[in-house]
Chain A
Amino acid sequence: DTEVTQTPKHLVMGMTNKKSLKCEQHMGHRAMYWYKQKAKKPPELMFVYSYEKLSINESVPSRFSPECPNSSLLNLHLHALQPEDSALYLCASSQDFVLRRSSYNEQFFGPGTRLTVL
Chain B
Amino acid sequence: SQQGEEDPQALSIQEGENATMNCSYKTSINNLQWYRQNSGRGLVHLILIRSNEREKHSGRLRVTLDTSKKSSSLLITASRAADTASYFCATVLNTGFQKLVFGTGTRLLVSP
Closest chain B residue to A106 by CB distance?
B45
Q: How far is the CA of A88 from the CA of B41 in the complex (A)?
A: 8
Query: What residues of A have a CB within 8 angstroms of the CB of B45 in the complex?
Result: 106-108
A11 at the interface (CB under 8 A from B): no
Contact indicator A96/B98 (Cβ below 8 Å): yes
Query: Within residues 73 to 118 of chain A, which ones have a CB less than 8 A from any CB in chain B?
Result: 88, 90, 92, 94, 96-99, 104-112, 114
Is A110 touching B42 in the complex (CB atoms < 8 A)?
yes
A90–B42 touching, CB < 8 Å: yes
- On chain A, the number of residues with a Cβ less than 8 Å from chain B's Cβ atoms is 31
Q: Is the CB of B31 within 8 A of A105?
A: yes
**A residues touching B (Cβ–Cβ < 8 Å)?**
4, 31, 37, 39-45, 48, 55-56, 88, 90, 92, 94, 96-99, 104-112, 114
The residues of B with any CB-CB pair to A shorter than 8 Å are: 2, 30-31, 33, 35, 40-45, 48, 88, 92, 96-105, 107
